[in-house]
A and B are shown apart, each in its own frame.
Chain A
């Protein structure tokens, strides 16, 4: 029990590393705020291409893209871009390669979600909108997309949670987000308490979102 307190819940160390870890948490948050819109935006474009454009070639390409990045581990993607780009003579800034890797990965997941959402809106909705003279584009923006998004809200939130968790991978390429900060602090103090504190901070950040997700899923279930 003493070992547990001294090594996992060492309050003295918690106090000392808290400012450092909070800075890491802040980095985690803004990194998420950067890559989520990028991934969701690209995913939405891909989903629209796959469902609303009548071209088999394009559909096939989108499916290929989605399956490729579903099969590719995000950490491998990140390291590939981070260590591979310099060999191409591209000097991507660290943040640039991280954002690119995360965007490529989670856009494929967002594309799947949006595709399911667009598929869930009955065809009659589009027909009704077009019959009142709305253009294809306006129909999409004002009629189809709002319903599609609402129908897959839980899955979108689920993806957001996954992306926030995924930012911890950036620690591997030495971006000082929460996990990296905790590991640095651990080697400074020869004590794993900072890692436990980081886990607690992740829980504080993500547990509310996970609860909200369960709540949304319950609501979807009881609405049927």
Chain B
């Protein structure tokens, strides 16, 4: 296969010109979904970690069960359950909602685990010093423990956010028209893999900066010790 042919197959300008708007639309959905998943997953994760910090046994048990199940199930299985199985019990949802909900719950489980690990890693003296000066449990949590815990949890947390946000591609399985889905159908319409290459580039365009941002945060947030 010579270079001309290779370019014609994988970087076909004509095909690219015809289908790039599809990829761009997919990018919008991917970005939107990724942003929603990140926000709702992190908020839920922080909430669960705080509830767990109350150390009320029945609640802790529930949270641990939730986190275990969401960490044990493949996210694709969760999405397929929400989209294909729940309509049978009168719980229909759109492809976007199913993917968003599934990935948010998965991210929440991981975020809760990382943050709880961080909370426990903050030395006991910190909460003692804070409580001794009259700060309430909540003030101590928000002003002293969580800022330190989130810094400890940060490397794991950014990895998780990236991994879960990448999984927005799983939405293609339930026909959500995000990048991968659009690229695949464009590529079978065109009989040429150029749209798939465009799709791959679109993912790199979105996630390479996120990965680099994660590395930068990690380096910047390293302990001032």
Would A and B touch once assembled, by the CB under 8 A criterion?
yes
Q: Mark B1-27, 1 if CB is under 8 A from A, else 0.
A: 100001001100000000000000000
Q: Is the CB of A168 within 8 A of B74?
A: yes
Is A72 in contact with chain B by the CB < 8 A criterion?
A: yes
Q: Is the CB of A192 within 8 A of B88?
A: yes
- Chain A interface residue number, banded: 35 or more
Is A219 in contact with chain B by the CB < 8 A criterion?
A: no
Chain A residues packing against B (C-beta within 8 Å) = 3-4, 7-8, 67-68, 70-76, 79-80, 83-84, 87-89, 161-162, 165-169, 171-172, 179, 183, 186, 191-192, 195-196, 198-199, 202-203, 206-207, 209-211, 214, 217, 221, 224
Partner of A83, one of B74, B78, B187: B187
Q: Please list 26 pairs of residues, one from A and one from B, whose beta carbons are closer than 8 Å in the complex, sorted by A's number.
A: A3-B88, A7-B85, A7-B88, A8-B89, A67-B211, A68-B208, A71-B211, A72-B166, A73-B203, A76-B169, A76-B179, A83-B184, A83-B193, A84-B193, A87-B9, A161-B71, A165-B72, A171-B76, A172-B173, A179-B77, A195-B77, A199-B78, A202-B73, A203-B72, A203-B73, A214-B113
Q: Is the CB of B89 within 8 A of A4?
A: yes
Q: How many A-B residue pairs have CB under 8 A?
A: 138
Interface residues of B in 167-191 (CB under 8 A from A): 167-170, 172-173, 179-180, 184, 187
CA distance A48 to B57 in the complex (A): 44
CA distance A74 to B162 in the complex (A): 12
Chain B residues near A179 (CB-CB < 8 A): 74, 76-77, 80
Chain B residues near A221 (CB-CB < 8 A): 117, 120-121
Chain A residues near B184 (CB-CB < 8 A): 79, 83
Partner of B180, one of A79, A167, A183: A79
Among B75, B90, B200: residue with most chain A CB under 10 A: B200
